[in-house]
Structure 1
Amino acid sequence: MYALSDYDFDLPPELVAQTPLAERSASRLLHVEQHAFADRAFTDIVDLLAPGDLLVFNNTRVLKARFFGVKETGGKVEALVERVLDPRTVHAQLRASKSPPPGTRIRLADAFDVVVGERAGEFFTLTFPDDVFELIEAHGRLPLPPYIEHAADAHDEERYQTVYAKEPGAVAAPTAGLHFDAPLLQRLQERGVRMAYVTLHVGAGTFQPVRVENLAEHQMHSEWYTISQDTVDAVAETRAAGRSVVAVGTTSLRALESASQGGQLLAGSADTRLFITPGYRFHTVNRLITNFHLPKSTLLMLVSAFAGYDTMRAVYRHAIEQRYRFFSYGDAMLLTCSNNA
């Protein structure tokens, strides 16, 4: 187990991608094989995968989860929906000068009122007057990551969403999937690459900094996932044929590994707090497509566990030297697992 400071690095601020490229699949791809690196185009992923390999995508859909509102007293409130609990109830983060007590009414987006319920840890329970998803879609704003400095516009509403997004519930995009467009998916299918889906609703906790130097003391945020029997069967068939299970993004990987803790992948739905750091042995995933992550982040720890700590230190040095674009709208890398169970 390493310490938090072992995952720090200096990133020139101009390498943080603020906007997406004109075309989804026009990103760069850093292909990593142990200590060998190859600078490629993302469309080269077609040649880097073999017929019979399985791509596993996270089909979560990002909610327009951010709202600005006012309390009955006139005090301003910012709300970020974290999780939809039922058709009229959510857990949300609230920013206000004073924490609103249960029973407080808040006017959101100057369109409708919600009622504050009991606290659930760091979150507030909010009751909506009508269908949550309809009100969020009609009146909410897309919650771009905190390192993107412009307010979300119509272009972001299209591009900060994968082309295969289906199940609403995330407050952040599974960003490795943003590189795939319909023509690229078609080329992969023609090559014989198979595709399967999981759902993991990415929470705002993915952006929360780790605040303890001793990683054993870190409390991982919770995220909800579901994996179908069809996906379980596809994984089993891929592994039996000796082909690779390729997770598209750390969220797909986290869902697959969370459902594999008994040693084999099982269908079902659950919350996961799985915190993957070096020393973890991967049960299901052989290869990973992922973006470049923040310093001191749990995602940087995850990829270090996957491909090797020393390898990832070298990868990030290379990426900075070669001026790769970082974070959600940035470039990608293809990694191979160094630590399968």
Structure 2
Amino acid sequence: MKTSDFYYDLPKELIAQTPLEPRDSSRLLVLDREKQTLEHKHFYDIIDYLNEGDLLVANDSRVLPARIYGIKDETGAKVEFLLLKQVANNRWETLCKPGKKAKVGTKFSFGNGILRATVVDVKDDGNRIVDFDCEENFFTTLDKIGQMPLPPYITAELKDKERYQTVYSHELGSAAAPTAGLHFTTELMDRIKAKGVKIAYVTLHVGLGTFRPVKVDDVTKHKMHSEHYEVPEETAKLINETKKNGGRVIAVGTTSCRTLESVAAMYGEIKPCEGFTDIFIYPGFEFKVLDGLITNFHLPESTLIMLVSAFAGYDFIMNAYKEAVKEKYRFFSFGDAMFIS
């Protein structure tokens, strides 16, 4: 398949700039793969499509306020750092703008000096390895001065940092939110559990590569970024029990999906483990775990629209996207959702 096969025309005004309140008031496009039907609902209606004995698997990763603004010690020139990946304790792989100001040995300060940084290496891709120094805990300091690394298509200011976190986020480490989970409220999750649906968690720290465009024409030639994941013992047990008892395993988001299918592909089963995955799911992929998927609407020609096309069928998904555009659904991170069963 060609990357261009996954293009669809999206009016700019349909790209959601701000989250809705309450979270579960967003719209929900319900897709039934067997019946090939579409239904227009709201996210709080998701409970009507979940059955006793089903299992939701969500990603509990928490987004770092990883964008920080500071000055170069020598000249006072302004810089922007985006923390990508923790290499050691206070050592991070970082995207620096402008990069020419961040040579090895250069020092910077952030937040009126409460955080200091020294560039210790420059990688082949231009990213910098940076050592940070602060009096308080690094993450506490980051929480004070950092901003959420919102995707480039969101230009509106985010007034409440917690709106780019899921209500169940716990494990700090993502550079972007697992956005399908943004629609859940604590109350909705309580109602889902009361119906006899269990909820389990995996952790996959979302990297900025999730926004990286596919630059090759032949889909199969694309190389995925690598992301760290963890499947706890309790989650593995619940997935295996659910499968054994005939319930459905429903992933909340493409990150949960990629975690589960990575583990199944590697071990032939779901078991407690952690590691890195660069799994690329596109049409033709054989799913071993998933029975359902909750997901947002993804960018044209992205690896994520390829993933949902693999799960639901290419024609069915592309038609669903056309319908969503026609019905003026809100798209991308702060947009509406889709439930594929």
Q: What is the TM-score when the length of structure 1 is the normalising length?
A: 0.94
- Aligned pair in 2 of structure 1 residues 240, 120: CA closer, same or farther (>3 Å)? farther
Task: Kindly report the root-mean-square deviation, in angstroms, between the aligned alpha carbons of the 2 structures.
Answer: 1.4
1:116 — aligned with what? 119
Shift of the alpha carbon at 1:73? 4.0
Q: Does 1:151 align with 2:157?
A: yes
Q: How many residue pairs are counted as aligned between the two chains?
A: 333
| CA contact 2:18–2:158 (8 Å) conserved in 1 | no
Name the residue aligned to 1:79.
81
| Amino acid across the alignment from 2:299 | L
Say which SS state the counterpart of residue 321 (structure 2) adopts: helix
Query: Structure 2: how far apart are the matches of 1:109 and 1:209?
Result: 33
User: Do structure 1's residue 134 and structure 2's residue 136 form an aligned pair?
Assistant: no
Residues 52-77 of structure 1 deviation map (CA, whole Å, 9 limit, x = unaligned): 10000100111110012222343432
Query: What is the deviation of 1:145?
Result: 1.2
SS of residue matched to 2:87: strand
Structure 1 residue 121 displacement after superposition: 4.5
Question: CA offsets per residue over residues 115-135 of structure 1, 9 Å max, x none?
Answer: 112234533211111443122
Local SS of the residue matching 2:8: coil
Identify which of 277, 301, 304 aligns with 1:299: 304
Contact 1:259 1:267 in 2 (8 A): no
CA shift at 1:97, angstroms? 5.0
Is structure 2 residue 331 aligned with structure 1 residue 329?
no
Structure 2: tracts of 5 or more residues without a match: none
Confirm or deny: 8 A CA contact 2:282 2:310 kept in the other structure: yes
**Residue of structure 1 aligned with 2:103, choices 97, 101, 104:** 101
Q: Helix, strand or coil for the counterpart of 2:319?
A: helix
Cα distance in 1 for residues equivalent to 2:192 and 2:165: 20
Q: Among 319, 329, 335, which residue is 2:324 paired with?
A: 319
Query: Paired residue for 2:189, among 168, 177, 185?
Result: 185
Following TM superposition, the consecutive aligned residue runs of length 4 or more in structure 1 with deviations greater than 6 angstroms are none
- Unaligned 5+ segments in structure 1 are 337-341
* Distance in 2 of aligned mates of 1:212 and 1:284: 29
Deviation digits for residues 13-62 of structure 1, max 9, x if unmatched?
A: 11111111120010111110122101111111111010010000100111
Paired-residue identity, %: 44
Superposition TM-score, scaled by structure 2 size: 0.94
Q: How does 1:49-64 map to 2 (within 5 A)?
A: 49-64=50-65
- Deviation per residue, 1:127-181 (Å, 9 max, x gap): 111443122112111111111112332x2x0211111111111111111101100
Alignment check: 8 A CA contact 1:87 1:132 kept = no
Aligned equivalents of 1:333 and 1:151: distance in 2? 25
After superposition, give the CA deviation of every residue in 1:196-233 in whole Å (9 maximum; x if it has no partner).
Answer: 00011111111111111122222211111111111100
Per the alignment, residue 339 of structure 1 pairs with none
Matched position secondary structure for 2:93: strand
Aligned residue among 206, 213, 221 for 2:225: 221
